[in-house]
């Protein structure tokens, strides 16, 4: 299987290289505004802008065509003017969409997602209508606008230097986006997380909002040629969302987003040209040689997102599951220690506790107790005695700290919340999370008590302590 994959890969030519490069550059240019859209909870605005850009494109084409017909534009300059007018049309429609939905929300009091939905579906319907109506005057293929034709663009539109025009335009877009976001990063960050604070600092948050919308619209239209309008949403949101799962800082999120965008372009082309023929030849369709690269870029971005969702080091489902399980295991371990300590306290001489009694004392499943016991044995904190288990010296130390935490906490609650009755239950939970520093602080605050509210002895900090302290036992409850 790997040999077959390698064979497919070896067929890659410079065209494939340019396809991947252009896709990567387009995806990276889209990922930058996408990070801010995700953070500002305006991802569906990206969806709306990409739908709404269609009438802008059609109107721009019509304008250029009309100007040419009226003789204002020569044939050669039409191509250049077309691109400029496309961008202008995109910005105009982007602003209309953003302003329109906001007006509907504020003045019309329409619910926010419904306002967005009304505006962009109407604009998109208008665009579809225009495309069909003026199809003879203007050569827009609605399919192409919708899902792009990356391969065609690379092959047929090459500048004299051998570089595809799409790569240049997307590269320029990436440069422009990088410059704008580097310049306005601090202002955009503040206004994204706290617009009111931004306004009080003198940063005009609404202007920045419209700047972001305009940049998104321009980026979308530039990337349309490569991947079409609907898949541009994938490149806008998915790498940014993947980065959101992997890091907490906005600047790092943007870098990670760029990386993932480039990676999804590479992976997408590999899926389209290598995985697709392999899969479909096995299914019995050998004539399927490849699939659409732009579609596969979206799929690759989705795969990367899913792997980040499951395997992400901090927020991944797997890592959260493992962290929770490890915590449960630690709590089980400490519960066993506490049980053995208290049994040793009650008994006068060494009295081993049998497994059955341990199981009875803890409200836990058999497996977790068994695992806890094995862990304790491995650490040499417990040892097997004749008919049960005993704490070793190290185990006794660890258990002592735990029980000290427990009883100090009970004293703390009893001192500060006298009406509270469930001291033990609270301490059962909190004892696992009190570390040495907190123990010292509690002891200081409470005046180093030696008896807890239930009358049991609070274990000293280190074993020799009990003899060197003052003689009368002190409890929180007896304080005036």
Partner 1 sequence: MAGVCRVKRLREWAAARGADGNDRFAARRRSGSSHMALAGVLFCVVSFWGQAWRVLTLGDHNTRVVLLGTVTLGVSGGVVGVFMLLRKQALLGDVVSHSALPGVAMAFMVMEAFVPGSGKSLPALLAGAALGGIAGMLCTRAIGRWTRIKDDAAMAIVLSVFFGIGISLFTVIQRLPAGNSAGLSHFIYGKAASMKVDDVRVIGAAALAALVICGLLMKEFAVVAFDERFSAVQGWPVVWLDVGLMTLVVVICVIGLQSVGLLLVVSLLIIPAASARFWTDRLVAMLAISGLIGGFSALAGVTISAVYPRVATGATIVLCGSAVFGLSLLLGRRHGFVPRMLAQSGARHRARRYGARDERNGDRDGTRGGGRDVD
Please report how close the Cβ of residue 464 comes to partner 1 at its closest, in angstroms. Answer: 49
Please report how close the Cβ of residue 244 comes to partner 1 at its closest, in angstroms. Answer: 7
Q: How far is CA 58 from the centre of its chain?
A: 36
Nearer to partner 1, 285 or 417 (CB): 285
Nearer to partner 1, 39 or 211 (CB): 39
Nearer to partner 1, 222 or 475 (CB): 222
SS3 266: helix
SS3 65: helix
| Residue among 283, 296, 328, 291 at smallest CA distance from 23 | 296
Distance CA 201, CA 205 (A): 10
Please report how close the Cβ of residue 473 comes to partner 1 at its closest, in angstroms. Answer: 49
Please report how close the Cβ of residue 241 comes to partner 1 at its closest, in angstroms. Answer: 5
Nearer to partner 1, 136 or 444 (CB): 136
The answer to whether the CB of 33 falls within 8 A of the CB of 177 is yes
Summarize as ranges the residues that interact with partner 1 (CB under 8 A): 38, 41-44, 46-47, 51, 104, 107-118, 121-122, 124-126, 128-129, 132-133, 142-143, 146-147, 230-231, 233-234, 236-238, 241, 244-245, 272, 276, 280, 283-285, 287-289, 291-292, 294-299, 301-302, 305, 309, 315, 317
Nearer to partner 1, 41 or 346 (CB): 41
Please report how close the Cβ of residue 98 comes to partner 1 at its closest, in angstroms. Answer: 15
Contacts of 379 (CB under 8 A, 6+ apart): 394, 395
Distance CA 148, CA 130 (A): 19
Nearer to partner 1, 141 or 465 (CB): 141
Distance CA 309, CA 296 (A): 19
Residue that is written with structure tokens 């096995």 in the block = 282
The CA-to-CA distance between both ends of the chain, in Å, stands at 81
Distance CA 214, CA 219 (A): 9
Please report how close the Cβ of residue 55 comes to partner 1 at its closest, in angstroms. Answer: 11
Nearer to partner 1, 111 or 436 (CB): 111
Phi, psi (5° rounding) for residue 412?
-60, -45
Six token digits for residue 43 = 């991802």
Contacts of 157 (CB under 8 A, 6+ apart): 164, 165, 166
Please report how close the Cβ of residue 299 comes to partner 1 at its closest, in angstroms. Answer: 5
């Amino acid at each position: 299987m790997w040999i077959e994959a390698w064979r497919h890969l070896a067929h890659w030519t410079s065209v494939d290289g340019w396809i991947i490069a252009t896709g990567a550059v387009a995806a990276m240019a889209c990922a930058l505004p996408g990070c801010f859209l995700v953070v500002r909870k305006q991802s569906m605005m990206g969806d709306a802008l990409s739908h709404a850009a269609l009438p802008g494109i059609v109107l721009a084409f019509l304008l250029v065509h009309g100007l040419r017909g009226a003789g204002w534009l020569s044939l050669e300059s039409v191509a250049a003017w077309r691109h400029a007018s496309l961008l202008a049309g995109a910005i105009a429609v982007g602003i209309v969409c953003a302003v329109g939905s906001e007006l509907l929300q504020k003045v019309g009091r329409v619910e926010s997602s419904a306002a967005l939905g009304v505006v962009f579906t109407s604009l998109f319907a208008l665009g579809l209508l225009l495309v069909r109506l003026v199809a003879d005057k203007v050569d827009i293929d609605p399919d192409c606008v919708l899902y792009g034709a990356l391969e065609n663009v690379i092959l047929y539109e090459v500048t004299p230097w051998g570089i595809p025009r799409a790569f240049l335009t997307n590269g320029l877009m990436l440069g422009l986006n990088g410059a704008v976001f580097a310049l306005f990063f601090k202002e955009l960050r503040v206004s994204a997380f706290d617009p009111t604070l931004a306004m009080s600092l003198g940063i005009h948050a609404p202007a920045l909002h419209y700047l972001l919308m305009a940049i998104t619209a321009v980026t979308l239209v530039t990337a349309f040629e490569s991947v079409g309008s609907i898949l541009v949403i994938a490149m806008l949101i998915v790498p940014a969302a993947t980065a959101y799962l992997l890091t907490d800082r906005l600047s790092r999120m943007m870098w990670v987003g760029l990386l993932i965008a480039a990676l999804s372009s590479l992976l997408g082309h590999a899926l389209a040209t290598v995985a697709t023929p392999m899969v479909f030849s096995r299914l019995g369709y050998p004539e399927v040689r490849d699939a659409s690269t732009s579609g596969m870029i979206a799929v690759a971005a989705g795969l990367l997102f899913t792997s980040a969702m499951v395997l992400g080091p901090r927020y991944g489902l797997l890592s959260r599951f493992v962290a929770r399980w490890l915590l449960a295991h630690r709590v089980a371990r400490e519960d066993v220690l506490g049980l053995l300590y208290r049994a040793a306290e009650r008994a006068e001489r060494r009295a081993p506790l049998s497994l059955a009694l341990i199981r009875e004392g803890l409200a836990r499943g058999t497996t977790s107790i068994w695992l806890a016991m094995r862990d304790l044995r491995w650490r040499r904190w417990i040892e097997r005695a004749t008919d049960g288990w005993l704490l070793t010296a190290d185990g006794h130390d660890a258990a002592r700290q735990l029980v000290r935490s427990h009883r100090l906490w009970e004293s703390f609650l009893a001192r500060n919340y006298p009406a509270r009755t469930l001291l033990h239950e609270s301490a059962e939970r909190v004892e696992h999370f009190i570390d040495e520093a907190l123990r010292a602080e509690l002891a200081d605050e409470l005046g180093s008590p030696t008896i807890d509210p239930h009358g049991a002895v609070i274990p000293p900090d280190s074993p020799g302590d009990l003899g060197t302290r003052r003689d009368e036992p002190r409890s929180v409850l007896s304080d005036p």
